[in-house]
Structure 1
Amino acid sequence: MHNPITYLETKHNELHNGFKGWLAKQSLPVEAAVVTLTGAAKGAIFSGFTGAFAKDSSSTAPPPDDSVSPNTMASFQKSQAPAGGPLIHARNYAVISGVNAGISSVLKRLRGKEDVQTSMVAAFGSGVMFSLVSGSGNSHANVITAGVFFALCEGVLFKVNISLRRNDCLSIPI
């Protein structure tokens, strides 16, 4: 009797390698569209799994009373936007994952390599789009700040990953 885990892993790798081979033969616009859509689907599915285990925190915060100024109330409502229900989380993860995957694939194809600059540019784009979609991008400064924050986090994670792989401390595929 064969090990079913090994069998599934082998079949998954065959399917994955076949898909990557097919994708490499496609034009840049087709590759970008397919990678963006699959990245968005993965993000939404991941959000669904994590959302099943997390409690919606938007209902736990008490609403401000009537004496609060309209500006404060608007800020409160904006702060509640990221704490929405499962569909909001799925949308946000789909945007982050899809935009990041699409930009990464285009830059990898154009530049011929994946490096820290590619990762940071893709993260900047996904941060900007997340800011716009989540409702926190009400000013150019907020949008740019979100993009820079995502890019800096990705740059640090990329460098740490490379460093760990060089030192054989941890093997994380890129």
Structure 2
Amino acid sequence: MLEQLNQLAGKKFEEFNELKQKNDALDVAFATLASAAQGGLIGYVLGSFSLDAAQQGAAGGQTPQVSAQLAALQKGGPWGQARNLAVFTGVNAGLSLAIKKARGGKDDVWGSMGAAFGAGVAFSLVSGVPNPAQSALTTGAAFAGFNGLFFQISQWFKPEHEDTEYAQARYMLTVLGLQKYESNLKKGILTDNTIMLWNDGALAEARIPPGPRLLILHHLDTYRNPSAILKPALPLPMPPPPATAVAASGGR
């Protein structure tokens, strides 16, 4: 009985994931709610700690300045901080995904800054600061600036590695002048191992427009053998080796 329930739950979870991938609005909404719940939990825990610290500071006779700072930290109590952090993390996650989808899967510093700006504005509006309109703009700009800086720093330290699962597919798109649809292949997990199985339905599922689909399928048909009589099938060309590999081998 328990095994059947686990199988049923797993099946429903897979169906929900498939539905999310096909429905952008549902995918964004789920990401927003999931991040908001996580942020709310963290905010409540942090709010509880700051409240305890403020109470201990008042009992220990801290200076008025330190007491005021601690009081500001625990303003609104744990639930207030849970609300503020839930709004910030939820809006940031939802906007990040929405911007990425709207830009065809492109993930760069501008998308990161845009999501951080919207999250900063939302955070300022719900946190009860004075002069909310002006504060929302300055807070959003500050969050956008910091997030953009952190994004750039993370890119500098990000290890560079070649994505070998899409080497042939990337080369084919380059030959056809369709490089901008590489992200669509990755969304549909259309790797090199599946390249000879691609059809119009699979490419349409990856949201590649009809014109590029026809070019890709026509190109593949010159290398695979649909009739098995008129011509033999040919292996799909591999991309040329990178310049660093050629130099290391001495040009041989």
TM range (shorter): 0.5 to 0.7
Q: Which of residues 110, 114, 124 in structure 1 aligns to 2:102? A: 110
Cα distance in 1, alignment partners of residues 50 and 101 from structure 2: 37
Provide Cα deviations, 1:120-174, integer angstroms capped at 9, x if missing partner.
0000000000110001262432111000000001001101111111489xxxxxx
> RCO greater where, 1 or 2, for CA within 8 Å and sep 6 or more?
1
CA positional deviation for 1:40? 0.4
Number of residue pairs aligned between Structure 1 and Structure 2:
139
CA positional deviation for 1:88? 0.8
Paired residue secondary structure (1:165): coil
Q: Describe the shift of the 1:149–1:126 C-alpha distance in structure 2 as closer, same or farther (beyond 3 A).
A: same
Larger Rg: 2
Cα distance in 2, alignment partners of residues 119 and 20 from structure 1: 24
Cα distance in 1, alignment partners of residues 95 and 74 from structure 2: 23
1:145 maps to 138
Unaligned runs of 5+ in 1: 1-13, 63-75, 169-174
C-alpha RMSD of matched pairs (Å): 3.1
Q: Which runs of 4+ in 1 moved over 6 A?
A: none
Are 1:135 and 2:131 counterparts? no
1:46 maps to 42
Q: % of aligned pairs identical?
A: 39
Q: Which of residues 20, 24, 30 in structure 2 aligns to 1:23? A: 20
Question: Do the aligned residues in 1 keep the contact of 2:44 with 2:78 (CA within 8 Å)?
Answer: yes
Question: Do the aligned residues in 1 keep the contact of 2:40 with 2:82 (CA within 8 Å)?
Answer: yes
- The TM-score, its normalising length taken from structure 2, stands at 0.47
Are 1:163 and 2:156 counterparts? yes
**Amino acid of the residue matched to residue 131 of structure 1?**
S
Cα distance in 1, alignment partners of residues 54 and 21 from structure 2: 43
- The TM-score, its normalising length taken from structure 1, stands at 0.66
1:6 maps to none
Cα distance in 1, alignment partners of residues 102 and 143 from structure 2: 22
Cα distance in 2, alignment partners of residues 55 and 140 from structure 1: 28
1:121 maps to 114
